[in-house]
Amino acid sequence: DVKVTQSSRYLVKRTGEKVFLECVQDMDHENMFWYRQDPGLGLRLIYFSYDVKMKEKGDIPEGYSVSREKKERFSLILESASTNQTSMYLCASSSPGLAGLKTQYFGPGTRLLVL
């Protein structure tokens, strides 16, 4: 069974804090993704990575950065959290090759509240 785990299910942070969201997958997947999910908007891609130390911006990268130092771990960083970053954050991974043809496996999500 593919397992994608995220470091926290719930997080409460203050405006201006630096926030780290961690994602780990155990299937040796090359591709990893970070999304945010907001009511009525669906999932929106923040960043993705197709290899260690490689990263690509998604649709809404502003205010976020990522780190992929090891294949199994993909971190999302909010440099200075703001209230409009309150959201559900979902990590996903998929096996190598054309990512569009590979099933994405999602983690359980981290619900972040920024006060």
Nearer Cβ to another protein, position 78 or 109?
A: 109
Question: Residue 2 CB, nearest distance to another protein (Å)?
Answer: 10
Nearer Cβ to another protein, position 40 or 69?
A: 40
Question: Residue 16 CB, nearest distance to another protein (Å)?
Answer: 28
Residue 103 φ/ψ region, left for φ over 0, alpha for ψ in the -120 to 50 degree band, beta for the rest: beta
C-alpha span between 76 and 35 (Å, rounded)? 10
Question: Residue 100 CB, nearest distance to another protein (Å)?
Answer: 4
Interface residues for another protein in 74-103 (CB under 8 A)? 90-92, 98-101, 103
Interface residues for another protein in 15-74 (CB under 8 A)? 40-45
Amino acid occupying residue 49? S
CA dihedral in degrees (1, 107, 11, 37; nearest 10)? Answer: -160
Question: Residue 15 CB, nearest distance to another protein (Å)?
Answer: 25
Are 73 and 23 in contact by the 8 Å Cβ rule? The answer is yes
